[in-house]
DNA sequence: TCTCTTGTTGAACGATTGTTCAACACCGGG
DNA sequence: CCCGGTGTTGAACAATCGTTCAACAAGAGA
């Protein structure tokens, strides 16, 4: 394989690392591959090459490719939600402003990303077959909706008029955000991120302003 | 006497069919495979086996596996949209009532179907790698949104007050319907179809009633 | 009945996949 | 300095993929 040492070939052929270090390096390499190539093209060899190691290391440290991919997905899901939450937390306004921050974050390039979408597609597909992946989905998606529901509940607490129930408002906004994300990733020319934000904001206004029967 | 050594079953080894018949049979077999096994496991051999023919027939009639899958996508998408449109056409009310019929149809068991969802996941996944599948998506999704946009335009024509532009209203409703469909298929316990209908209806009311800046 | 068209077969091929494992080499402790 | 354990290598392997194509045979027309 490649060695990043002197060209005169007297350096070590590889450097030994601890199991934890190597596992982390392999996971990062897998993520880079998945993002760049998509999951279906992220073969053992592509990931090993990206990490600068040989193919055997992956099965040595993770037991199977599936275990590595599952670990990578968990990492991505955790990272994405925490990134959105940090942008919400950074907002110093009230719940209504924090909800807008959530929407803005949902239409930021970090989320509106075709490669991320491809990873998510693979995640959804795997969910039907792997109970472990399915559990990760349920856990992460529950947390996602919970954040929205709390924000709506706080807004409702502030307002006087009766509004849509926080649960229904959160389900609606979550669906709208996911649907727009889906359609944008499949065909980015359909609408702009700014238009998506405007649509989501309109939903929020509807949910909190109108006296609702939901 | 022309009977050979085999005791029975000396009938024809296969039956010849017209190109159209065989293409249709292969397409149906491909759909059954995709729904049951998923795309990644629906190999040429699995589809051929499902159709009861040999592997060579697929490339003979479709040129490539990609073309067959694209045709299957088109078939499913056509069927789904025409089913929805027929229910809309069966509604004898005005555009507003027809829009409600569209929403009702979108939450009917025909659409809210996990196997259909798995097929759709497969098509979305292939869309990233296959220009042919991507073209089919663009065409079918455009038609889908066009139906919604026309209904919103007719409603706007009827109403006096300014409302959201038909294009934005259609994009929003399309996103909401797709997002809710996605989330329901991934986790049906989250909300009921009736709640989904109520959310979509709420969006329509927002789009046509409020004087909008969109 | 014979012929000819053509739908159909299925073995073969090359590419690629995830996995294995004996050999190798780095590096800390003797 | 050398030695042993262990992190690492990479060729080999079996399975599977989509595609090809020469050979076969079904069935209609002569």
In the structure, how far is the CA atom of residue A31 from the C1' atom of nucleotide C25, in angstroms?
A: 29
The torsion defined by the Cα of B100, B95, B181 and A194, in degrees rounded to 10, comes to -130
pLDDT attached to residue B200:
97
Task: Please give the average per-residue pLDDT across B182-206, as a whole number.
Answer: 95
In the structure, how far is the CA atom of residue A56 from the C1' atom of nucleotide D1, in angstroms?
A: 32
Task: Work out the pLDDT band at B151, boundaries 50, 70, 90.
Answer: very high
Task: Work out the pLDDT band at A160, boundaries 50, 70, 90.
Answer: low
Task: Work out the pLDDT band at A1, boundaries 50, 70, 90.
Answer: very low
| Spatial separation of the C-alpha atoms in residues B137 and A153, rounded to whole Å | 38
| Spatial separation of the C-alpha atoms in residues A153 and A164, rounded to whole Å | 10
pLDDT attached to residue A135:
80
Nucleotide D21, nearest residue via CA and C1': B56
Distance between start and end Cα atoms, chain B: 83
Interfacial A residues in 69-108 facing B (CB < 8 Å): none
Tens-place pLDDT, residues B101-140: 999 999 999 899 887 888 888 888 878 878 888 888 899 8
Q: What is the largest CA-CA distance in chain B?
A: 88
Task: Work out the pLDDT band at A204, boundaries 50, 70, 90.
Answer: very high
- What does the angle CA B184 – CA A120 – CA B196 come to, to the nearest 5 degrees? 15
Nearest residue to A172 (alpha-carbon basis) of B177, B189, B163, B102: B177
Cβ–Cβ under 8 Å, residues B81 and B72: no
Nucleotide C21, nearest residue via CA and C1': A56
- pLDDT value at A4 more than 60: no
Interfacial A residues in 121-150 facing B (CB < 8 Å): 121-122, 124-125, 127-129, 137-138, 141, 145
CB contact under 8 A, A40 and B40: yes
CA distance A169 to chain B (A): 8
Q: What is the DSSP string of B72-113?
A: HHHHHHHHHHHHHHHHHHT--S-HHHHHHHHHHHHTSTTTS-
Nearest residue to A148 (alpha-carbon basis) of B107, B214, B189, B190: B190
With tokens 């009310």, the residue in question is B93
CA distance B87 to chain A (A): 23
The torsion defined by the Cα of B149, B102, A185 and A123, in degrees rounded to 10, comes to 180
| Spatial separation of the C-alpha atoms in residues B40 and B137, rounded to whole Å | 19
Give the mutation candidate from A113, A138, A179, A213 for the B interface (greatest B CB count, under 10 A).
A179
Tens-place pLDDT, residues A166-179: 999 999 999 999 99
CA distance B49 to chain A (A): 23
Determine contact: A21 vs chain B, CB below 8 A: no
Percentage of chain A modeled with pLDDT above 70:
90
Q: Which nucleotides of C are covered by protein (CB under 7 A)?
A: 7-12, 16-22, 25-27
Residue of B nearest to A200 (CA): B172
pLDDT attached to residue B22:
96
Nucleotide C28, nearest residue via CA and C1': A16
User: How many CB atoms neighbour CB B45 within 10 A?
Assistant: 11
**Mean pLDDT across chain B, nearest whole number?**
88
Distances (CA, A) of A204 to B1, B44, B131: 84, 48, 37
User: Does nucleic acid strand C have an atom less than 7 angstroms from the CB of B19?
Assistant: yes
pLDDT attached to residue B132:
80
A65: the nucleotide nearest its CA (via C1') is C18
Write the CB contacts of A193 (distance below 8 Å, at least 6 apart in sequence): A107, A108, A112, A184
- pLDDT value at A126 more than 60: yes
Residue of A181, A196, A214 lying closest to B202 (CB–CB): A214
**Mean pLDDT across chain A, nearest whole number?**
87
With tokens 């899958």, the residue in question is B69
- pLDDT value at B192 more than 50: yes
Distances (CA, A) of B4 to A88, B10, B14, B201: 81, 8, 18, 71
Determine contact: A180 vs chain B, CB below 8 A: yes
Tens-place pLDDT, residues B40-58: 889 999 999 999 999 999 9
Q: Poorest-confidence range of A14-18, A125-129, B17-21, B73-77? A: A125-129
pLDDT attached to residue B9:
54
Tens-place pLDDT, residues A39-84: 888 999 999 999 999 999 999 999 999 899 889 888 988 888 899 9
DSSP summary character for residue B129 = T
- pLDDT value at B2 more than 60: no
Ordered domains of chain B (ranges, CATH): 17-63 (1.10.10), 72-209 (1.10.357.10)
CB contact under 8 A, B128 and A118: yes
Cβ–Cβ under 8 Å, residues A123 and A137: yes
Cβ–Cβ under 8 Å, residues A173 and A200: yes
Residue of A124, A186, A187 lying closest to B186 (CB–CB): A124
DSSP summary character for residue B23 = H
Distances (CA, A) of A9 to A12, A14, A49, B16, B172: 8, 12, 20, 65, 61
pLDDT attached to residue A162:
56
CB contact under 8 A, B175 and A199: yes
């Amino acid at each position: 394989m490649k060695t990043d040492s002197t060209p005169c070939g007297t350096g070590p052929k590889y450097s030994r690392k601890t199991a934890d270090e190597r596992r982390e390096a392999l996971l990062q390499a897998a993520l880079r591959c998945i993002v760049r190539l998509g999951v279906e093209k992220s073969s053992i060899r592509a990931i090993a090459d990206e990490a600068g190691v040989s193919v055997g290391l992956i099965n040595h440290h993770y037991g199977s490719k599936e275990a590595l991919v599952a670990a990578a997905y968990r990492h991505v899901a955790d990272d994405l939600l925490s990134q959105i939450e940090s942008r919400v937390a950074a907002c110093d306004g009230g719940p209504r402003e924090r909800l807008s921050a959530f929407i803005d974050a949902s239409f930021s390039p970090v989320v509106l990303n075709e490669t991320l979408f491809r990873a998510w597609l693979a995640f959804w597909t795997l969910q039907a077959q792997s109970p472990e992946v399915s559990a990760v989905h349920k856990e992460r998606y529950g947390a996602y909706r919970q954040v929205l529901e709390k924000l709506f509940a706080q807004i409702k607490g502030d307002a006087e008029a009766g509004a849509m129930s926080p649960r229904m408002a959160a389900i609606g906004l979550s669906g709208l955000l996911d649907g727009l994300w889906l359609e944008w990733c499949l065909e980015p020319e359909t609408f702009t991120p700014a238009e998506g934000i405007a649509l989501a904001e309109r939903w929020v206004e509807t949910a909190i302003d109108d006296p609702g029967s939901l």
